[in-house]
């Protein structure tokens, strides 16, 4: 059995009772960063073996983990924050478990893009989560393909690349396209800035940006013709 356990994106109280129960019951916890996970486990007085599982070793340890799971071991996978597999390690192991008829159970819980979307004030009935944009290869073609997408678009970004990405989005989508940027969600200095892409880029270019960031951009609107 493999459990996918969401962990708080900031406030340690944002973890479910069921998640805590699972972390207490499993034999091994796979963690993106063992130090971050140990902090969470210590806070809730949970003592379990924690094994590194991240983008730099997931291919190397994959077969071994699948063999252990197939033999009956119960494991949980957690990331530094949020839900495993959402722009974080987890997909490869989940796919192999499915291929090998190993039961996978995903717990509901914290993830950054949902609260960012809801509090953006932009349409949430149809949206596309794009995760992190490619740094170089494929960036141009992806932005070009999203230019006329009518769904609300959601991106993750790092503090050091935020202004560049906002300027890139403005160049492809139009400087006046509405957007919202949320950072440090659930933490003491949580902030959401709304406005046009140009306005928000200018705002963040004048300050030091820290924390995890979610960019929400309004979808493309077709121009109305005549009396439509």
Quick one: three-class SS letters along 61-83? HHHHHHHHHHCCCCEEEECCCEC
What b-and-e string marks burial along 197-222, b requiring 16 or more CB atoms within 10 Å of the CB? bbbbbebbeeeebeebbbbbbbbeee
Structural domains of the chain, ranges and CATH numbers in brackets: 2-106 (3.40.1010.10), 113-217 (3.30.950.10)
Q: What is the DSSP string of 118-131?
A: HHHTS--SSEEEEE
Instruction: With beta carbons less than 8 A apart as the criterion, state whether 195 and 166 touch.
Output: no
Question: Which pLDDT belongs to residue 222?
Answer: 81
C-alpha span between 34 and 111 (Å, rounded): 19
Residue 228 has what pLDDT? 44
Phi, psi of 28 (to 5 degrees): -140, 140
CA 112 – CA 95 distance, rounded (Å): 23
Query: pTM for the full model?
Result: 0.92
Low-confidence residues of the chain, pLDDT below 70?
A: 223-228
């Amino acid at each position: 059995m493999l459990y996918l356990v969401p962990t708080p994106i900031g406030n340690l109280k944002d973890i479910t009772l069921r998640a805590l129960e699972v972390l207490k019951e499993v034999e091994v916890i796979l963690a993106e960063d063992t130090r971050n996970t140990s902090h969470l486990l210590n806070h809730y007085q949970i003592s379990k073996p924690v094994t590194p599982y991240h983008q730099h070793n997931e291919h190397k340890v994959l077969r071994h983990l699948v063999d252990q799971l197939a033999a009956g071991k119960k494991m949980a996978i957690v990331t530094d924050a949020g839900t495993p597999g959402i722009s974080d390690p987890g997909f490869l192991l989940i796919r192999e478990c499915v291929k090998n008829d190993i039961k996978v159970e995903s717990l509901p819980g914290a993830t950054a893009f949902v609260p960012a979307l809801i509090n953006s004030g932009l349409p949430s009935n149809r949206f596309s989560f794009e995760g992190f944009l490619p740094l170089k290869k494929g960036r141009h073609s992806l932005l070009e393909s999203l230019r006329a997408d009518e769904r609300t678009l959601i991106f993750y970004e790092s503090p050091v690349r935020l202004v560049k990405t906002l300027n890139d989005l403005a160049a492809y989508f139009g400087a006046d396209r509405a957007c919202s940027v949320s950072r440090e969600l659930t933490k003491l200095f949580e902030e959401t800035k709304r406005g046009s892409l140009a306005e928000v880029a200018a705002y963040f270019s004048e300050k030091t940006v820290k924390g995890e960031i979610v960019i929400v951009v309004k979808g493309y609107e077709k121009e109305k013709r005549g009396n439509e």
